[in-house]
Chains A and B, each alone.
Chain A
Amino acid sequence: MSARENILARIRRQQGRSGPTTAEEMALVRANIREHGVGPKPLAAQAEDSLELFKRECQRLLTTFAEVDEATVPHEVARYCAEANIAKSLAGWREYSHLHWPAAGIDYAARAANKDDTVGFTGCFCAIAETGTLLLLSSPDQPKLNALLPETHICVVPKARIVPTMEDAFALVRTEVGEPPRSMFFVSGPSRTADIEQTIVIGAHGPYRVHVILI
């Protein structure tokens, strides 16, 4: 008998069931999964205006944000980079490469970030108000590394894509994408650690700065 069979058999034996898992039992489990029932959500996440809640939660996470029109995104990026004193050179997702980056003095490369990039630029699938969270789904043109390797991560969030809770985000994934992609990446603020004397330090292995541009 393989380890697999032994483990499954032991589980069943200890639960007082004999033989292998039955078709009925599998059907029951699948039915429960299909139902994907939703648990209680924090009352605050439902009561408040999603945009306002999202902004407030971003502040708690030390995520900065600005609100602009889509056309002026490059200018906002230029402003942010100047203020943060970082190079105006981005590794970004293809979907935003059509914006007028050169006009804002920005060098925009539509590719996955590498270790030399200092600013990663991404969009997002949606954002979650409850926790100020960005949800990024991986795809050929939406590499995850752009949100991870560079010291600064700038993310465009269309206001219409802010949902109240994580359950709402998953509902969107189901209706718009179907099967989950390789990576569903939930980002909530810059990376941090408290592993030395429980002192919070911003900027562990991921970005030091996360800037959200709301359009």
Chain B
Amino acid sequence: MQVQSMHFKRNASAKLNDAVLQRNMQKAKGKFVDGRAKAVSEVENWEAIRTHAAALRDQCLANLDAYLLEFEANATRHGAVVHWAETAAEACDIIVKIAKENGVAKATKSKSMVSEEVNLNERLEAAGIQPIETDLGEYILQLAGEPPSHIVAPAVHKSKEQVADLFVAAHGKPRLTDIPAMTREARDALRDHFLTADMGISGANFIIAETGTTLTVTNEGNADMVTTVPRIHCVITGVEKVIPTLEDFATLIRLLPRSAVGQTIANYLTLTTGTKMPGDQDGPEQMHIVLVDAGRTKFVGTDMQDMLRCIRCGACMNHCPVYQNVGGHAYGWVYPGPMGSILTPTYVGIENAGDLPNAATFCGECQVVCPVKIPLPDLMRKLRERQHDMRLRPWSERIPMAMWAFAAKRAGLYAFLSKWGARVGSWLGGRDRLIHSLPGIDGWTQGRDMPAPEGRTFRELYVQRRDKQ
């Protein structure tokens, strides 16, 4: 997916004025937020589980190289081939090569954000291999030729009417708008693909060092089909996904579906270890695991390493007031919301992701709901510090900031400026005590009035009063 994050402000503006999107987002918001709140309230020791999860992720990240090596050894022992990719292009090259060597014509895919990140579908198509997205949401978007707008609910921005139109065009059947019937139609359309694909491509929610296991968490059952039916199973995942043991997975899976959609558990958890065993009636003959860096190691050992704890639940975006209003596409790349505002600038370069670290009021909701306690606002602030130090913000922000900083450190100057600021502001407020427009703060006054200052500063009035006494 091409990075469009430098146009966040412009894209967000368009999304704010997109009535259909606004309606769809409004509908989804309540379900995610209320669903999570209810599910979390049922677990009395939620905080203890969160704390344990954050600690185990930290422990793994502190020894990431050793855990990856242990994972590799155990996966290999079970017959999988482990590949390493430093870049997005390398990851695609590896998978295309495996597909070509094995005469793959069609690959079914279960949901994988890493594959979105590296543009895998585009590369497969260019190599003459047909990728079929099988997660219903991803399938809809493949038909629409759009990227996902949410990491868990990729088509959350689409209405059923929009989906119905896509299905008519793709399936050539009478138009349905009954959601269960539409789902049935998609199931029927994808059935044959499941059974005839040569390769199944899945992501991995986690990979387990202890056993060399990769695993998927789904509700639809598509990932289970993708990892079981075709003769080749290819996993594409990030190097940060490694966890030590099966027990650690048990901890994390208590958090993931509850945080994501308010379910106590996802319908299907598939832990796959190596290739099919002698005599097995199902399972792939080859298993390939592609471990992708593509920017992840930039976080390692830095003051932003906490970000790698992320388990991709989407709770941060579900609760983010900015995301709720602009949707995922405005963020201009694969990962939206607060987590995207940290991942995108780091993966693609802070100079290419201009407004993202600033696309937050620091309301803190994301941090409160994050199941692995990532201090998302703090990490966004660190990116703002980097932007500040690299002078990446526009002059229109830097000059007022420099002037404010100069004055705020000097009490006398500050008192003088604020005294006159209060007077001028009060005068500008005129009869109705409202400033309707003011150059320099037009971002504010375009949509709001600025209530005028009272006319004297507290300092003036206080000092005057004190001197009188």
Q: Which residues of A contact B (CB under 8 A)?
A: 2-4, 6-8, 10-12, 14-16, 21, 25-26, 28-30, 32-33, 36-44, 57, 60-61, 111-112, 115, 131-133, 138-140, 143-145, 148-149, 165-167, 170, 173, 179-199, 201, 203-207
B469 proximal to A (CB < 8 A) = no
**Inter-subunit contact B264/A28 (CB<8 Å):** no
Cβ-defined partner of B44 (8 Å) among A33, A43, A149:
A43
Give A182 Cβ to nearest chain B Cβ, in Å. Answer: 5
Q: Which residues of B contact A (CB under 8 A)?
A: 24, 27-28, 31-32, 42-45, 48-49, 52-53, 56, 59, 62-70, 78, 84-86, 90, 134-137, 140, 153-156, 158-160, 163, 179-180, 182-184, 187, 190-191, 194-195, 209-211, 213, 219-222, 224-225, 227-229, 239, 244-251, 253-254, 261, 264-283, 291, 293, 297, 300-302
Nearest A-chain residue to B301, judged by Cβ: A14
- Inside 8 A of B59's CB, which chain A residues have their CB? 32
**Inter-subunit contact B65/A182 (CB<8 Å):** no
Give B326 Cβ to nearest chain A Cβ, in Å. Answer: 18
Selected A-B contacts with CB under 8 Å, 16 pairs: A11-B297, A14-B297, A21-B65, A32-B59, A39-B56, A40-B49, A139-B277, A180-B211, A182-B272, A185-B269, A195-B220, A196-B155, A197-B24, A201-B180, A203-B180, A205-B190
- Inside 8 A of A133's CB, which chain B residues have their CB? 265
Q: Which 9 A-B pairs have the closest CB atoms?
A: A206-B221, A140-B279, A14-B301, A204-B220, A195-B137, A39-B251, A186-B269, A4-B84, A112-B281
Nearest A-chain residue to B291, judged by Cβ: A7
- Inside 8 A of B251's CB, which chain A residues have their CB? 39-40
Bound CA–CA A21/B137 (angstroms)? 41
- Inside 8 A of B247's CB, which chain A residues have their CB? 36-39, 167, 170
- Inside 8 A of B248's CB, which chain A residues have their CB? 36, 39
Cβ-defined partner of A29 (8 Å) among B63, B250, B282, B300:
B63
Give B302 Cβ to nearest chain A Cβ, in Å. Answer: 7
**Inter-subunit contact A193/B220 (CB<8 Å):** yes
- Inside 8 A of B48's CB, which chain A residues have their CB? 40
Contacts known (A115-B195, A196-B160, A197-B179); A204 close to B136, Cβ less than 8 A: yes
Nearest A-chain residue to B269, judged by Cβ: A186
Contacts known (A7-B239, A40-B49, A139-B277); A191 close to B267, Cβ less than 8 A: yes
